[in-house]
């Protein structure tokens, strides 16, 4: 848990990563599908789009929006192998281990849970 917290805190220091937030549509999607389904989607996206040694369209395989997990991947620097290498020292050119995949999914879901519970009006009293 300490590693997750440390990673989430480090991501907040990046102006690019910190600008990502779940939209109301993303939160509504989570409400409709439920968190267990979102978790399975995260596992599937990581396994198919990130885990291979040479993912198809690497660097462009993760849309910026359209699913809560996609947003989380960009917010957490888990969107492509280049970002994984830069942020987490996971080298390109080799498949992710099951343990690495699980760690990425745990990070994505921790971010999603924080965002899902975030009240934007509490952060900006002028709203």
Biggest distance spanned by C-alpha atoms of the chain: 48
Q: Which residue has the higher pLDDT, 110 or 58?
A: 110
pLDDT digits (tens, 9 = 90+) for 14-51: 999 999 999 999 999 999 999 999 999 999 999 999 99
DSSP secondary structure, 32-94, as one string: HH-HHHHHHHHHHHIIIIISSSS-TTTTSSS-SSSSHHHHHHHHTT-SSHHHHHHHH---TTS
pLDDT digits (tens, 9 = 90+) for 73-84: 999 999 999 999
Instruction: Quote the pTM value.
Output: 0.90
Q: Say how far apart CA 105 and CA 87 lie, in whole Å.
A: 15
Q: Say how far apart CA 91 and CA 123 lie, in whole Å.
A: 37
């Amino acid at each position: 848990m300490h590693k997750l917290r440390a990673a989430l805190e480090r991501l907040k220091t990046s102006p690019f990563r910190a600008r990502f937030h779940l939209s109301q549509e993303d939160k509504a999607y989570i409400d409709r599908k439920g968190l267990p389904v979102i978790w399975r989607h995260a596992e599937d996206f990581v396994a198919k789009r990130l885990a291979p040694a040479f993912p198809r369209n690497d660097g462009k395989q993760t849309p910026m929006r359209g699913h809560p997990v996609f947003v989380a991947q960009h917010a957490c620097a888990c969107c492509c192998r280049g970002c994984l290498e830069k942020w987490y020292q996971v080298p390109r050119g080799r498949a992710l281990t099951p343990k690495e995949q699980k760690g990425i999914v745990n990070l994505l879901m921790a971010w999603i849970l924080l965002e899902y519970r975030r009240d934007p009006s509490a952060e900006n009293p002028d709203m």
